[in-house]
Structure 1
C-alpha cells in the first residue's frame, strides 16, 4: 500500500541514484515506477553502439563475403552486389538488434527472476519486477558504450574474439570454441554481474527481504539463464568445425 501511494522517482534522479545509492533509490520506487522512457533511452544508445560496431567491422566481413560469393556461382551475379546487399542487411540488423536488445533482455530477466522469486515464496507484481529489471539494466549501457569505443578505436576485434565481450571471463579462460564452458565463461561478465547485483538490491527493497536475499534470487536467475544459454549454444555446431562441402571451403560448408 505504501509503495502504491508514492509518486514516481524522476528519470535522471532514478538513474543517478541507481549508481550512487541503489538501496535508497530502489526503496523509494513506487510499485509502478515508469520504465518505458529509460528503456527507450537504452535502446537508442544500443542502436548507435550496434551501428558503430557494424561500421567498424563491415570492411572485413564484406570482403570475406565477396571472396566467397565470387567462386560460389551465386545467382545474384556480381560479387560486389552481393557484398553491398549483405552490408545493408548487416547495418540494419546490428542497429535493430541494438535498439530492441534492452527490451528483450529486460523481459527475459524479469520473467526468469519472477519465477525464481516465486519459488522463494516472494510473489511480486510482474510489472514492478519488470521496472526494477529495466533500471538495473543500466550497467549494460556502459558496457555497450565501452565496446563501441574499443572496436571503433581498433583496440578490440570482436571478429577475432568470436563475439566474446572484452570484460568477460572468456577473455581470460577462453575454453574450446562452441563448448558449454566457453559459452558459460562468456556470460560471466563484469557489467552483467553489476546489473545482477543492482537487480538483487531492488528485489530486496521491493519484497522487504533485505539486499542479501534479493541478490541471491537475482544471481540464481542469472545463473539459470547462463546455464541454459550456454547449453543451447553448445548444441549449435561451431562454423570452424563443419566438414568441407564438396569442392568448397574447408570448415565452412561454402561451395567454391
Structure 2
C-alpha cells in the first residue's frame, strides 16, 4: 500500500467505561425532529411516516471537555443534547430484534448547529450541510456499553448553559425508538461497527456565544461539556 501524499488530522476515539481501547468514529448519522415538542418549536409538523436523517463528517467530532471556537459564518449557533448509540456488529436490512442486538453502547452527545444557515437552506429546499456539518459540532462524552446500562426507556435528558437549565426531557419522548431507527436506516446502509447515530433532541434549543459553558447529561451515562471560545 502506498504512502499518503499528506497526513489527515486524527479523528478521536470515544473512551468506553471499563475498556482501555476507545470506540473509533466511522460515520455519524443524525435523526431529525425525533421529539414532537422540538419539531413544534422549529415550526414543523412531526412526520410519523418514517424517520429522516442528516450526517456529520467524522472530522467534526470532538470529545467532551473540549474548548472549541465559535464557528465562522453564523450569528445563531445552537446547542442540541442527544442520546448517541454506537453500532457494534454489522447489520443490514435488520429486524427490530436484530437492530437492538447490534447496539454496542450509548453516550451523551451534542449536535451543535449553525441555526441561521440551517433555516435559510431549508427555506430554499437545499441540504443542511452548512448548518449541521460544522467543525467541532459533534461532541461525544465517554461511552457506556449496552450490557452495562439499564434498558433505554424514560431516562432524563437535559442541558444547561452557564448553569441555567435549557433542555429537560426524557427518552420516553422519542418518536422513533432506537430499534426502529436502526432497522429503518439499515435498509439503506450496511451499518457496521464505528457507526454512530444521534437520536434527536428535546425541546428548548437555543443560541450560545463565545464564553458559554454547555453541560448536558442523560441518566446513567457520563455527562458532557463544551466550552465556546472566541473565533480563531
TM bracket (short chain): under 0.3
Instruction: Please state which structure has a larger fraction of its residues in helix.
Output: 1
TM-score (norm: length of structure 1):
0.25
Task: Mark the structure with the bigger radius of gyration.
Answer: 1
TM-score (norm: length of structure 2):
0.26
Instruction: Please state which structure has a larger fraction of its residues in strand.
Output: 2
